[in-house]
Chains A and B, each alone.
Chain A
């Protein structure tokens, strides 16, 4: 009973915690640029303001797909926190992203189409790496279940450091941070797939972003799972690493992103997989 309490609380409070992460991130980013930055509760102010705005939808399927993106992402996070199958979690996350891509293609806006194209390419960049990491976890712990990582005696960070490096390389793609923010690209595409959403339907996309933060930082936490102090330390390290990277780099184009991911991050994950096979045999 006690084991279930913390995951269930985390699942129920996921949008709120994610909102605080996003607000904190905006402050940190502003301080890195020597600005004051918005208040910590800014994401929630945005949330309530968007709830009040007039609803303008392109067509009902578009709005529905946007909401389903949010719901399926929350579901994926729930399975991850409850200790479900890691492969299932990754594919549910893929499902939620593909719903967003479908929403992008369902309108006639060119920017929306471009954003959907680029989101599809960014899936191609991070998905193989995540699956290879999941397989490495299987080789070490003997199970795809997230719960088995918590039961394992040693922290995964020391068992497979290369996988952590590969994760660090693909996380900016997944969180849509510079230099790999081609999918969102606010100066170029003004948000990509989210461009046609407005009012309360944009809120679903906006809140899904917060849940995505929770999802990614939970993945990071798994590397220090059996030692909470190490896990939280890793999460903070990755948080500052991603924001520093976001502030200090310019956007690459999608070909460079694809090349970097498939020629650098994927081989690192693959070598890690080979090493774990050697270790376990």
Chain B
């Protein structure tokens, strides 16, 4: 039975601040307020990675928070999508190039939707999440399953040749 339809009906959100200034976080909380009311789409701000579908990340990834970011992403069960909120999370923003930050979250985890703005407007966040839902619905089961490779990586000189393996993965999928 195909249950993909229900994914976009009840997206549960996990919100993580990777060292931002709290501006975008306040806008995310504004989405929950009566004026914007994202609960009408069935969204809940769970705060628990094991039960959520959408990871909303704000802030440039500081070196303290990057391990937590990857850990939280790994704890979310598939299917999952990542939405980066705000200029900092997309590119690093005004913090780009500083000694304590990385330029955006996409250096660590795959990002599906980028929402721009400093800070992002609640309308933009809702729009970004709705676009993420379309991606979430399309994500297939095959993507989640781990693939057991039959071929051993070939060593050419000093480097492993992964090209043949990539070809095999495409054949399986």
The interface of chain A, by Cβ under 8 A from chain B, is: 26, 30, 33-39, 42, 45-46, 48-56, 186-187, 190-191, 195-199, 202
CB contacts (< 8 Å) of A187 on chain B: these are: 47
B34 touches A49 (CB 8 A): no
Knowing A48-B6, A49-B9, say if A190 contacts B77 (CB, 8 Å): no
Interface residues of B in 55-84 (CB under 8 A from A): 75, 77-79
Q: Which 10 A-B pairs have the closest CB atoms?
A: A198-B50, A45-B9, A52-B3, A48-B6, A54-B77, A45-B10, A190-B47, A46-B10, A35-B37, A49-B6
CB distance from B136 to the nearest CB of A (A): 10
A199 touches B77 (CB 8 A): yes
Residue of B12, B42, B78, B79 most packed against chain A (CB within 10 A): B42
A195 touches B78 (CB 8 A): no
B46 touches A190 (CB 8 A): yes
CB contacts (< 8 Å) of A52 on chain B: these are: 3-4, 6-7, 79
Interface assignment of B48: CB less than 8 Å from any CB of chain A: yes
Q: What are 6 residue pairs bridging A and B, where the CB atoms are less than 8 Å apart in the complex?
A: A30-B37, A37-B40, A49-B9, A52-B6, A53-B77, A54-B77
Interface of B is mostly: loop
In the complex, which residue of chain B has the Cβ closest to the Cβ of A186? B47
In the complex, which residue of chain A has the Cβ closest to the Cβ of B144? A54
CA distance A198 to B79 in the complex (A): 12
B50 touches A196 (CB 8 A): yes
A37 touches B39 (CB 8 A): yes
CB distance from B93 to the nearest CB of A (A): 28
In the complex, which residue of chain B has the Cβ closest to the Cβ of A201? B50
B37 touches A36 (CB 8 A): yes
CB distance from A30 to the nearest CB of B (A): 6
CB distance from A110 to the nearest CB of B (A): 14
CA distance A55 to B41 in the complex (A): 24
CB contacts (< 8 Å) of B50 on chain A: these are: 56, 195-198, 202
In the complex, which residue of chain B has the Cβ closest to the Cβ of A46? B10
CB distance from A57 to the nearest CB of B (A): 10
